[in-house]
Chain A
Amino acid sequence: DVKVTQSSRYLVKRTGEKVFLECVQDMDHENMFWYRQDPGLGLRLIYFSYDVKMKEKGDIPEGYSVSREKKERFSLILESASTNQTSMYLCASSSLTRASSGNTIYFGEGSWLTVV
């Protein structure tokens, strides 16, 4: 079975803290994605990566950075957490070589981040 694992299910962090959200996939997928999900807005793409050490900005990259040192791992970093970053974060992976394709994207269970 396809597996995308997000290390933390629920986190509570203070404003200004540095936050790491980790994601690991076991399918040898080239592509990995980070989305955030907010009520009424659906899923919005933060960053994605097509290969190791490669990253591209999505629709809402401000306030975030990412790291892809190994193929199976894609980390989302909030350098200085703010309350407007309170959200559900979803990691995903696929075997696509480009975003425009019919291949399925597989999602993790999500990480609920609260910034106080």
Chain B
Amino acid sequence: AQKVTQAQTEISVVEKEDVTLDCVYETRDTTYYLFWYKQPPSGELVFLIRRNSFDEQNEISGRYSWNFQKSTSSFNFTITASQVVDSAVYFCALSDSKLSFGAGTTVTVRA
């Protein structure tokens, strides 16, 4: 069974629009961590953010923000005022007994 679900396969926006990426996860563990990674065309996965299961406080870091809702098992990620350089594949990941990734969402930002 899929542990991490990213329902959006592709998102296309015009520069300066906001982009929200959805992530729903499934785990029986009470202690776990959630991540977002970015994979630009070069291929290397770049760590963006991390949140542990005991901290539901949502934060903003520059143009990135995230919304962790334990009650709905969701960990959504928003890019504010998108730029062309934000074009990439974004992966949500869950670390409980092992690290599981979603299928990824391809974001295309058009100038």
Spell out A's residues near B (CB within 8 Å). 33, 35, 40-45, 48, 58, 88, 90, 92, 99-102, 104-110
Residue contacts A-B, CB under 8 angstroms, 24 given: A33-B99, A40-B9, A42-B4, A42-B101, A42-B102, A43-B91, A45-B98, A45-B99, A88-B43, A99-B95, A99-B97, A99-B98, A100-B33, A100-B95, A101-B95, A102-B33, A102-B50, A104-B47, A105-B99, A107-B37, A107-B44, A107-B45, A109-B42, A110-B44
The 10 closest A-B pairs by CB, nearest first: A107-B45, A110-B43, A43-B101, A42-B103, A102-B33, A99-B98, A42-B101, A109-B44, A109-B43, A104-B47
> A35 to B99, alpha carbons, bound, how many Å?
11
Given contacts A58-B98, A100-B32, 20 further A-B contacts (CB under 8 A): A33-B99, A42-B4, A42-B6, A42-B102, A43-B101, A45-B99, A99-B97, A99-B99, A100-B96, A102-B95, A104-B47, A104-B50, A105-B47, A105-B99, A107-B44, A107-B45, A107-B46, A108-B44, A109-B44, A110-B44
Closest to A88 in B: B43
Tell me the total A-B contact number using a CB cutoff of 8 A.
Answer: 57
The verdict on B31 contacting chain A, using a C-beta distance below 8 Å, is: yes
**CB neighbours of B103 from chain A (8 A):** 40-42
Closest to B2 in A: A42
A100 touches B98 (CB 8 A): yes
**CB neighbours of B35 from chain A (8 A):** 104
**CB neighbours of B46 from chain A (8 A):** 107
**CB neighbours of A58 from chain B (8 A):** 98
